[in-house]
Amino acid sequence: MALKNIREEEFTEQLYSVISPSQPITSIELLSGRTREMQRVKRALIVPGKSVFIHGERGVGKSSLASTAAQIYQSSDKPYIDVSCQSDTTILSLVSNIAMQATNQYKFEGIVKKINASVNLRFFKTGVEKTISRSSIQKQLSTIGDAIELLKEISLIYSEKTVCVVDEIEKITDEVELEKLADLIKGLGDKKVSIKFIFTAVGQTLESILGANASTIRQLETIHLPRLSWDARWDIAINALHKFDVEIKEEIYIRLAAVSDGFPHYVHLITDKLLWILFDKETVVHEVTWDDYSHALDATIECIEADLARPYIKAVEHRADAYEEVLWSTSIVEWQGADLSSMYSEYENILNQRPNSTKLTYEQFCTRIRNLKQEKYGKILKQGRQPGHYMYEEKILRGYVRMQAEANNVEILNESQEAEIKQYITVSSRKTGYFGSKPPKDWDSNKAINPIVLSAAPKGNFRRDKVIKRKE
C-alpha cells in the first residue's frame, strides 16, 4: 500500500479506470491521441448509408477506437452490438450472430410484439417460436437480400440508434465471401437500413484486406490508424501516474514512449506493471525511478502474449549471442522498411555498448538477417520492396524486440539521432518521428519551446544481461 495508502481493492478499481491493458477502451477520456480519427468516425456515422472501416497494424488501438465511437453513437436504451469474425465466418453466419446478440437483450420480445402490430415482420414474428436460436435464424437466410432484410428488422426493433462493431474482418479471406460483404454493405445503403457498422481489420490498405472488392464499396469511410504520436504515448503513463500522485521524470517517460514503439497496448501494459511495482513497495512513493522502470519492463516482457514472444525466442534460443544483437539491430526497421547497410550501422552502435561481444563481418551479418525470414528463425522479417531491403512480418513484434534490447541495457535510439524533443512534436507526416520511434530528422531544436534533452539511463540500472524469455 505504497500509493496514497489505499487498499488493494480501491487501487485496482482506480488503476483500471485510467488504463486498459487487456481489453479495448470504451471511454473517450482514455482514448489518447485519437482526436482526429474519432472526429472522422463520428461525422461518418451521421451520414445516411455510411459505415466505417478502421484498419491498421495489430496493437495500434483499432478496437478501442471502434468501441469508444460505438459507445458514443449508440442510443442509451441498449448497448451497441459487438461481434468478431473467425476463420470459418461467412457473411450469413455473421449476420446471424448479430441477430442473436440483438435478441438476447432484455425486453426484446415485448418490443417485437409492439412492432408486429404495425409492421409485417418476416424474421421476428411473435408466437412462432418460444425461443430464437442461431440455427433457426440462419436457416432462414439463403441470400444477401435475406441478410439485409433481417438487419432492417433489427434496426426497427433493437434501439433508437443502433451501431454494430465487427472486429477482425480480415479473417474472412474467401473471395466469394468478400464479394458478399461488399454486396451487403452496398445493399444496406441502398435499402436505407439505419444500422451503422464499424468494421476493424489488420492491414495497411483496404485493398490488402478486401481485394478487388475494395473499390466497389463507396459507402465506407476508410480510416487508417497509425501508431500513437510521442506525446500521446507518454500522456497515457503520465496521466495514470498522476491519478496516484506520482511523478515521472521526462527522460524516463520519453524512454517508455520510445520502447512502446507507438503501440498503445504496450504503453498500457508497461504502465500497469509500473504502478503495481509502486503499489507493492513498503513506503509511500511519489516519483518513478529508473529501477522502477527497469522492473516494469522486465515484468512486461514476462507477460507478453506467447504469439509475440515465440518468434523472438525461436530466433535467439540455442544460438550464438550474436543472433540477439543482430535481431536488436532490426529495430531500426520502420514501417516502410530498412536496408542492410542501415541495420549493420545500428549493429555496430549496439556492439559499442557491449564491448565483450564479437563483431560479425558484414557478410556474416547479412546471412543472419536473411535467416530471420525463415520459419525456424521465427520468420520475423520479410523481403522489402527491393533486394537488401527488409520489413517486419508483423509490426507489433518490433516493439517487443525493442523491449528486449532496452531490458538488456542497450540504447534503443541511435546516438547520432538523439536530439532534443519538445513536449509536443507537431509534425504531420506519418513517416517522421511524430508517429515513429525516433525524433524527426529535420526537427530544429533551436525552435523548440521548453525543449527536453533525451538522456540515457544511468549505466547499470538494468540488471539483466541475458535474454528475457517467456516461461512456457
Mean pLDDT calculated for residue range 107-130: 51
Residue with cell 501494459: 269
pLDDT at 471: 35
Do residues 154 and 162 touch, judged by C-beta distance below 8 A? yes
Say which range, 113-127, 255-269, 348-362, has the weakest mean pLDDT.
113-127
In angstroms, the CA 331 to CA 398 distance is 6
Percent of the chain with pLDDT over 70: 77
pLDDT at 124: 66
Angle among Cα 29, 219, 168 to the nearest 5 degrees reads: 55
Mean pLDDT calculated for residue range 65-72: 95
CA atoms within 13 A on the CB side of 415: 9
Strands (E), 410-463: 420-421, 452-453
pLDDT at 336: 64
Q: Does domain 34-224 have CATH number 3.40.366.10?
A: no
Do residues 443 and 286 touch, judged by C-beta distance below 8 A? no
Which residues are paired to 287 by β-bridges?
247
The three three-digit cell numbers of residue 74, written as one number: 449508440
In angstroms, the CA 204 to CA 394 distance is 11
Do residues 347 and 421 touch, judged by C-beta distance below 8 A? no
| Higher per-residue confidence, 368 vs 139 | 368
pLDDT at 440: 41
pLDDT at 26: 87
Q: What is the DSSP string of 122-180?
A: SS--TTS-SS--HHHHHHT--SHHHHHHHHHHHHHHS-SS-EEEEE-GGG---HHHHHH
Cα 40 to Cα 32, 46, 70, 195, 430, distances in angstroms: 15, 10, 13, 18, 17
In angstroms, the CA 185 to CA 197 distance is 9
Q: Where are the domains of the chain?
A: 8-18+228-303, 34-224
The three three-digit cell numbers of residue 368, written as one number: 543472419
Say which range, 28-42, 77-91, 113-127, 132-146, has the weakest mean pLDDT.
113-127
Question: Predicted confidence band at 331 (pLDDT cuts at 50, 70, 90)?
Answer: confident
Q: Does domain 8-18+228-303 have CATH number 1.10.8?
A: yes
Give the chain's mean pLDDT: 80
In angstroms, the CA 197 to CA 41 distance is 11
pLDDT at 455: 36
Say what the pTM is: 0.79
Cβ count near 131 (within 10 Å)? 7
From 184, 197, 174, select the one nearest 70 (Cα to Cα).
Answer: 197
Whether the per-residue pLDDT at 459 is higher than 80: the answer is no
Whether the per-residue pLDDT at 111 is higher than 50: the answer is no
Whether the per-residue pLDDT at 439 is higher than 50: the answer is no
Q: Of 56-70, 309-323, 395-409, give the range with the top mean pLDDT.
A: 56-70
Do residues 344 and 362 touch, judged by C-beta distance below 8 A? yes
pLDDT at 394: 87
The three three-digit cell numbers of residue 32, written as one number: 489518447
- Helix (H) / strand (E) element for 83: namely strand 81-84
Q: What is the pLDDT of residues 300-326, one digit of tens each?
A: 998 887 778 889 999 988 777 688 999
Whether the per-residue pLDDT at 453 is higher than 50: the answer is no
